[in-house]
Amino acid sequence: MNVFLFVSIPILFFSIRNYHKAFLWYFLFRLFLSNFVPFLAIVGIPQIRLSLVCDTWFIILPLLMHIKEKGLFKVPKLPSELRPFAWMIFLVIFSSTISVLPLFNSLSCAFLECVSSYIFPLLFFAKIKHPSDLKFIITGLMIISVIAAIYAYLEAFVFGYQNPLIMYEQSLNPNITENMWSYSFFDRGGRGRISSIFAHAIGCGCTMSIFAVFFLYVKGAFNSYIVSNKLYYISVFSAVFLVALCNSRSPYPLIFISLLALIKSKSFLKLASVGVVLIFIFQSELATFIDVLLSIFDKNIEEHLGGGSNIEMRMEQFEALLTAWLSGNPIFGEGAYATRFWLDKNIGLMGGESIWINLLLNTGLLGCVFYLNIMKGLVMLGKGYGKKTIFFFVVGWIVMKSASSTPGLDTSLFFMVMFCIAKLNMLSNEINSKNE
């Protein structure tokens, strides 16, 4: 029985009666829908993700409502800062259509990418219209962070780093014959790692890095959106706790670079002071996590933790990338299926680490330009302190995505958190203007 499907059905039906509230609830529920959760899974046929079906529902439903009321369909205008999203959507569809790779595979991957990675975040931006929406989202994310931390504690210290939730999700798909991305005491040099409610440890750590900095920003700049100081402190601790327990290097560039925006914030200084004291008191217990951080710079520690990529491996990967990229369409790429196609060929791309491998193979040089324009648009969308925060978030994101693969991390979630930061400033300015 697919529990996730039974939870999603009432939300979808409720959206017919009250679309806005259902959309907000679905945004939070969406965090629990990993890539493993199917809407439909049949032996021998690629699964249809439940998140994709729900995303599509929430995109199509307001269009149908608008047509019913107005009798016509009108493409909504995007702010100039968000137009690169539309460019990328068009490019993904175009490159997938003209690709020499199997058309069905290319278009199905293109549909998934366009709907879940680009269109749904744009819908999110359009539907967040009131301060109460942001307060609901911020509170919900804090509660989910606490739930994720409690479950991670059980995963690590009760279940022995086995994750029953992810095992259950994988059991829903008959095409998965063995557990993927499962962990034990012996991982990371005998230190273990957790993934909590997320599909992979890296995705868990990166998501919680985003949440931790986001909560600190809200506390420092928009304290009125914090419904409970106790919940705030517990949620920040929970997020940092998960970053540590995931035992992955990928989250550290993101969290440290994005924290630079808050370096003068009182909320950050308080957290940093407490952190220094805790590190001094529990330095022996924290040695494990300090080693993970130092492994970025020390090859000996990296090998002790179970190894990783080195310069020689990266050079081979770069050569394989050039071979694959130049054999296709260097300008437009070979469509949304291209990266998966070349990874299956085992030509030396390893796990396809780095966002630039994905962009060059799928959407070519033009895709790299559009992606950078998306990042620029996110920064330009922010105002004042929010703009500075989004800038450091974007820099940290690009560094992280350039240096590592990020399985289990939802790109659309990053976009939507950036939109929340921008909306906090936008809605506050609107309220101030009305008061004047």
Residue 265's pLDDT is what? Answer: 67
Give 264-273 contacts, CB < 8 A, sequence gap 24+.
265/216, 265/217, 265/220, 265/221, 266/220, 267/216, 267/219, 267/220, 268/216, 268/220, 271/216, 271/236
Give the residue ranges of the chain where pLDDT is below 50: 281-285, 296-298, 305, 435-436
Residue 29's pLDDT is what? Answer: 98
Exposed e or buried b per residue across 311-324, where buried means at least 16 C-beta atoms within 10 angstroms of its C-beta = eeeeeebeebbeeb
Residue 435's pLDDT is what? Answer: 47
On the 0-12 / 13-18 / 19+ scale of CB atoms within 10 A, 45 is exposed
- Is the CB of residue 408 less than 8 Å from the CB of residue 208? no
For residue 260, which phi and psi values (nearest 5 degrees)?
-60, -30
Question: Domain residues of the chain, as ranges?
Answer: 1-76, 85-117+310-352+354-403+406-436, 130-308
197-219: per-residue pLDDT in tens? 999 999 999 999 999 999 999 99
Residue 380's pLDDT is what? Answer: 96
Residue 404's pLDDT is what? Answer: 82
Alpha-carbon distance values, 297 to 4, 157, 292, 315, 399 (Å): 41, 29, 10, 18, 15
The model's pTM = 0.90
Residue 302's pLDDT is what? Answer: 52
Residue 297's pLDDT is what? Answer: 46
Residue 431's pLDDT is what? Answer: 55
On the 0-12 / 13-18 / 19+ scale of CB atoms within 10 A, 370 is buried
